[in-house]
Structures are given as C-alpha cells and as structure tokens.
C-alpha cells in the first residue's frame, strides 16, 4: 500500500477546452459551520424532484404522516420516491410553484407539521453490505429516494446500474464545486468526510470498480485536508486518491472533470459508463451511506444561502420541502437593494420571483444578488462573430451557430451542431461582448426539440395502434370468410362413391353436384327412351308428330337450352307419346 503513494502524488492532470476564471465569492459563506434549520410550519414536497416520471402519492389529504415515511412511490424505472421530511398532517395535494427555470407550478404534497418529529419505522441497516448482491444495494438506494445532489437529480439507483455492456473500472467523485458563491459541498467534505468515504466504499463494491478519484479544486484547502485524513484512516488508501485540480469554471462539469482527471473524453451524445467511468457528487455519496448503513431516506440536504443581498450568509442543514423564505429569514432576511434572487449559482441558476418555493433535492443554493453583483447588461446587440463564445465553450461547440439556428427555429440544424452536448454552463454568455442571452436560446431549442420528439413518438404510437387495428379487422374478416366457406362445404350433398377397381381399392373423385344432377337426368331420359322404343312407341323424328306435339317438343328443347344442357332433347315420345306412360314421361321431363 505504501508503494501506491508516489503514483498518486505524481498523477498527471489534463486540460479541457475553454473555461473561464470568475471571482469565486466563497468566503462569504464558508467561514462558519453548518447550522441546522428548524422545522417549518408547512412543508411543500414536489412529487417530481428528479429526472424522470413524477412519483405517485400513496397517502391522501387528512392522513397523518411520520418523518421518513413514504408518501409518493415511483411510477417507472427512471423515478424516485418521496418521503415526509417531518411528522404532520397532509392538508393538500395540489399544484404549487416549484424551483424550475420555467417558473411553472407542479403537483406537490403539502404537510402541516406538528413539531413532534416522530419517526416512521426505518429500513434495516445493511451493515454487512459487501456480502450482498449489487442489485440489493441498488434497490435500497432507490427505495430511500437518493438522487444526484450535484444539480441534475438523476436517480442514483439507475445511474449505478450501467449494465453488463459497460464494465466500470473508475469511480470519479465530484468535489470540485466550481460555481461561484456555492459552498455546501465544501462544508460537507469538511464535516462528513468519513460518511463520504463509506459511500465510496459502497459504490466501489456495487460497481466492481478498481479505483476512485476524488477531484477537488485548489480553493478548498480545508476540504482537501479533511478528505485526505479520512482516506488515510480508512483501508481504501490503495484504491482512493484525492486529486487537487486547478480552479477553473466549469471544472465541476461531469465531462470536464473526467477529462481533467483521466484525460479521456465522453463520446458525444454518450455517457461516462461507455468509457468505464461513473461520476458521483460528494453529497450523493453521503446520502448513499445514510441509506445503506442507517436506512435513512433522503429528506435533508446542505444548502448555501449567500450573496450580498442577504444579511448573514451561511450553510444550513435543511429539510426537503422547506420554503425558501424560511431560510432567508433564518439568515437575517434580505438587506439593501436586491437585483434578483437566484436558485442555484450565478452561472447555471435561475431567477425566482416567489420566495415560497420549496427546497427540492436538487436545490443547493439560494443567492441574493445586489445590483453591483448582477448589473443590468442592457439590451442585446447583434452578434459580431468575434468567436469568443467558441473559445470559452468547455464542450467544444460552436455557440454562435447554435444561437443563429435556434433563433431561426431551425431545430434540425441546431441538433446538427450537437445542441444536447451543451451543459448550459453560461461561459459563452459571460464572455459575449454583445450581451446576448445565449443560454436562454439553447434552453428554448432543447425544450422545443424535446416537445417535437415527444409529439413524434406519440404520432408513431398512434400510427402503430391504427395499423394494429386494421390488421386485426382484416384478420377477423379472413376468419369470417373461412368459416363461411367451411359451412358451405359441409352443407353440400355428398358425392357418389367412386367405383372400386378389380382389386377392391378405389377413391371417390371430386364431382360437381350440378353436373352430376344433369348426368342423372340424362340417364333417366335415355332409359325411358329405350323402354318406349322396345314397345314400339317412340317415333324416329319430330316430323312424324302432330303439330301440337311438335310445339311441346320445341318447348322442351328451349327449357333444356335455358338449363345449360347441350345434348339433344329427349325423343318426342317422352313428351308427347299417347297414353299414360307418355304423359308421365313428359311431366317428369318438365
């Protein structure tokens, strides 16, 4: 194990394309320990706090719930359950404003807390987790509602299941926290470094990975020291390395951090698992340790409340669902002129106008900016094609091309320029001399593209259902016709048996019933004719008949022709012979 240390110290770092240096402003909030936030009178819990389908409520209005109790279960694979952050009574399940760039409302469960903090029965701790199947651990992480706490909020149980097609060899832990002002991960690494290491151990076992690289920017010396000390005290020294990286925004992006630490690039439109790497945030790993070792669901997280527009910036331990105004009040309230209130950081966050929005699992910061911190850039000017946005783009895209096509609503061309590789970091807008809100155009183009793809899928599904209906109707019609034909065959008279051969064997040939009836009539007529001829009653031709009898013979011949008979008509004696026998023959022939 000692031989591994020099290799760690000499690790090479790589440089990703672009990036910018911005004032970090972290000293505003990282000078004091994390404070617990009191339980608010009302908790507002969005049913969708993750990427994927919203969870489905399992309690109803009027029910009393306990802290940690499941209140909404997942409806699909890419989904996460929601648990009550405190005990109380469900007073509403309705649309409420949520922390989202759109500013729209979404279904939420509203709990009026009772102040008792009464816990529900928790899941049994899995102390001996290394003897368990990885699927059991993934199910535990899923049941505890753990999602990515770095901002994307992707369900962790899904992310830790890359499949057999992608064997994982490296776990990358994101402790960079590159965005200005935000310090909640910094404080988490200082105060819960041991839990983060336990989470690393669990995930390494779950993935079967050989090594772990923890990337931390060099502007967090206390966090670096705490993580190195925790590593030294664990038995993971030969598998875990704490790597100090230069401070450059956005080095905390998943693809950018992997590039810096390993030199490898994630394929366009791909995921890190395709190159054998999984990336997790330090907060997510602490939540994994809580879920597996303690059976705790994800109901709390660290949140930074900062900016010069708030009286006392701080980091708080907050219950999920706490309204933002409660946290602002705990930090002394707003002061002076406020330019805007942002959920998230100044680069990737979004402005909020309603301070009643709840803190969701992905919300890591409330930022109150003064006019000096967020000056009005003025109206956007025309693009001068300077190329600064392309130089700063960490995803190595062409932002000006994406902007022009997004503005023209040419969504096909936008995707030709790899729109969905954009991480919306805001570097392009930060350096744009024309002050064009580029990220807003990218978000619009992404939203429209997703909507169009969704409409296309719905149309394809509708067409598939229509085609299936037509095929079913055609199949039913074919079956009906087959039944009718089968019934017609059964209703036909049986054909006469075939004559047997000299050896006694024989088969019944297929005979047309109509033709058989005609042949039988001909045979009867011939037999009667022969019988009359023997008695000397049959004339040789029609000239020997009386005029009335000739008319009867002509009428009989016309009837035979109408019936389709081609053979000569019966002799006149069959229709006009005097006496009872001739009359009978005429009647039968008619």
pLDDT value at residue 528: 77
535 φ, ψ to 5°? -85, -5
- Distance set, CA 552 to CA 508, 523, 524 (Å): 39, 21, 19
Q: Which residue has the tokens 């890359």?
A: 162
pLDDT value at residue 148: 94
Query: Rounded CA gap, 432 and 511, in Å?
Result: 93
| SS3 call for 303 | strand
Closest residue by Cα to residue 309 from 326, 329, 327, 333: 333
**Strand order in 277-281's β-sheet?**
240-245, 211-217, 170-174, 277-281
pLDDT value at residue 535: 65
Query: Rounded CA gap, 233 and 501, in Å?
Result: 104
C-beta separation of 247 from 219 below 8 A: yes
Query: Rounded CA gap, 164 and 208, in Å?
Result: 11
Other C-beta atoms closer than 10 Å to the C-beta of 481 total 10
Q: What is the DSSP string of 431-479?
A: H-TT---HHHHHHHHHHHHHHHHHHHHHHHHHHHHHHHHHHHHHHHHHH
Other C-beta atoms closer than 10 Å to the C-beta of 422 total 21
C-beta separation of 513 from 495 below 8 A: yes
Closest residue by Cα to residue 230 from 197, 261, 275: 197
Angle between helices 134-143 and 193-207 (to 10 degrees): 130
C-beta separation of 169 from 211 below 8 A: yes
C-beta separation of 112 from 42 below 8 A: yes
The pair of structure tokens assigned to 199 is 């989470």
pLDDT value at residue 547: 67
The pair of structure tokens assigned to 52 is 């994927």
Q: If you classify domain 1-28+125-296 with CATH, what class do you get?
A: alpha beta
Q: Which residue has the tokens 């230069």?
A: 246
Closest residue by Cα to residue 123 from 290, 319, 287, 286: 290
Query: Rounded CA gap, 526 and 23, in Å?
Result: 121
Query: Rounded CA gap, 328 and 352, in Å?
Result: 13
Closest residue by Cα to residue 528 from 467, 465, 571: 571
Angle between helices 184-191 and 193-207 (to 10 degrees): 90
Beta strand 105-113 with 88-97: parallel, antiparallel or unpaired? antiparallel
Long-range pairs, 468-476, Cβ under 8 A, ≥24: none
| SS3 call for 319 | strand
Query: Rounded CA gap, 316 and 331, in Å?
Result: 9
- H and E: helices and strands count for the chain: 18, 17
Please give the distance of CA 143 from its chain centroid, rounded to a whole number: 19
Q: Which residue has the tokens 């019944």?
A: 508
3-state secondary structure 365-434: EEEEECCCCCCCCCCCCCCCCCCHHHHHCCCCCCHHHHHHHHHCCCHHHHHHCCHHHCCCCCHHHHHCCC
Residue 35's DSSP bridge partners are 316
Cβ neighbours of residue 242 closer than 8 Å, sequence gap 6 or more: 214, 216, 224, 227, 228, 231
Beta strand 365-369 with 300-306: parallel, antiparallel or unpaired? parallel
C-beta separation of 16 from 260 below 8 A: yes
Query: Rounded CA gap, 503 and 267, in Å?
Result: 83
**E-only strand ranges, 191-268:** 211-217, 240-245
Cβ neighbours of residue 449 closer than 8 Å, sequence gap 6 or more: 411, 414, 415, 419, 420
Query: Rounded CA gap, 397 and 439, in Å?
Result: 13
- Distance set, CA 138 to CA 4, 174, 270, 280, 495 (Å): 31, 20, 22, 14, 73
The pair of structure tokens assigned to 16 is 């990703």
| SS3 call for 346 | coil
Q: What is the DSSP letter of 116?
A: -
Mean pLDDT by groups of 10 residues along the chain of 590 residues: 41 93 95 96 95 93 97 93 97 94 90 95 92 93 94 90 88 96 97 97 95 96 96 93 96 95 92 95 97 96 96 97 96 91 94 93 95 90 94 95 93 91 94 94 91 90 93 92 85 58 49 75 79 61 60 72 55 44 43
């Amino acid at each position: 194990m000692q031989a591994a240390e020099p290799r760690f110290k000499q690790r090479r770092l790589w440089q990703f394309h672009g990036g910018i240096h911005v004032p970090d402003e972290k000293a505003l909030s990282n000078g004091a320990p994390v404070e617990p936030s009191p339980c608010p009178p009302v908790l507002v819990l969005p049913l969708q706090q993750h990427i994927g389908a919203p969870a489905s409520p399992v309690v109803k209005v009027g029910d009393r719930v306990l802290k940690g109790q499941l209140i909404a279960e997942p409806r699909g694979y890419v989904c996460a359950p929601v648990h009550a952050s405190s005990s109380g009574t469900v007073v509403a399940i309705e649309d409420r404003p949520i922390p989202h760039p759109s500013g729209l409302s979404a279904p939420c469960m509203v709990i009026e807390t009772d102040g008792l903090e009464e816990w529900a029965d928790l899941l049994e701790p899995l102390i001996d987790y290394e003897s368990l199947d990885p699927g059991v651990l993934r199910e535990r992480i899923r049941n505890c509602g753990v999602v990515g706490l770095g901002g994307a909020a992707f369900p962790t149980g899904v992310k830790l299941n890359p499949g057999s097609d992608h064997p994982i060899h490296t776990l990358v832990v994101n402790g960079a926290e590159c965005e200005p002002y935000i310090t909640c991960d910094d404080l988490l690494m200082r105060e819960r470094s041991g839990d983060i290491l336990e989470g690393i151990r669990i995930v390494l076992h779950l993935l079967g990975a050989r090594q772990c690289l923890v990337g931390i920017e060099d502007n967090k010396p206390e966090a670096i020291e705490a993580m190195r000390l925790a590593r030294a005290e664990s038995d993971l020294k030969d598998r875990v390395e704490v790597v100090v990286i230069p401070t450059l925004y956005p080095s905390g992006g998943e693809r950018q951090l992997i590039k810096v630490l390993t030199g490898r690039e994630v394929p366009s439109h791909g995921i890190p698992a395709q190159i054998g790497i999984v990336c997790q945030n330090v907060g997510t790993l602490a939540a994994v340790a809580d879920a597996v070792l303690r059976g705790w669901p994800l109901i709390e997280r660290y949140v930074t409340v900062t900016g010069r527009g708030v009286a006392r910036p701080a980091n708080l331990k907050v219950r999920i669902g706490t309204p933002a105004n409660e946290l602002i009040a705990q930090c002394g309230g707003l002061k002076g002129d406020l330019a805007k209130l942002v959920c998230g950081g100044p680069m990737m966050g979004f402005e909020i106008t309603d301070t009643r929005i709840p803190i969701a699992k992905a919300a890591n910061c409330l930022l109150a900016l003064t006019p000096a911190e967020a000056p009005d850039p003025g109206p956007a000017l025309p693009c001068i094609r300077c190329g600064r946005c392309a130089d700063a783009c960490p995803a190595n895209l062409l932002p000006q091309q994406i902007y022009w096509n997004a503005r023209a609503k040419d969504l096909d061309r936008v995707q030709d320029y790899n729109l969905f590789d954009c991480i919306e970091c805001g570097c392009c807008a930060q350096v744009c001399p024309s002050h064009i809100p580029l990220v807003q155009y990218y978000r619009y183009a992404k939203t429209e593209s997703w909507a169009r793809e969704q409409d296309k899928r719905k149309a394809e599904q509708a067409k598939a259902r229509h085609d299936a209906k037509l095929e079913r109707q055609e199949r039913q019609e074919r079956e009906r016709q087959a039944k009718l034909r089968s019934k017609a065959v059964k209703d036909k008279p049986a054909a006469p048996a075939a004559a047997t051969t000299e050896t006694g064997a024989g088969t019944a040939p297929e005979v047309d019933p109509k033709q058989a009836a005609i042949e039988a009539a001909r045979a009867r007529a011939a037999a009667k004719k022969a019988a009359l001829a023997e008695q000397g009653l049959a004339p040789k031709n029609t000239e020997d008949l009386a005029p009335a009898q000739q008319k009867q013979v002509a009428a009989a011949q016309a009837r035979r022709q109408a019936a389709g008979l081609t053979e000569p008509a019966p002799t006149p004696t069959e229709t006009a012979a005097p006496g009872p026998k001739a009359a009978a023959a005429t009647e039968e022939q008619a």
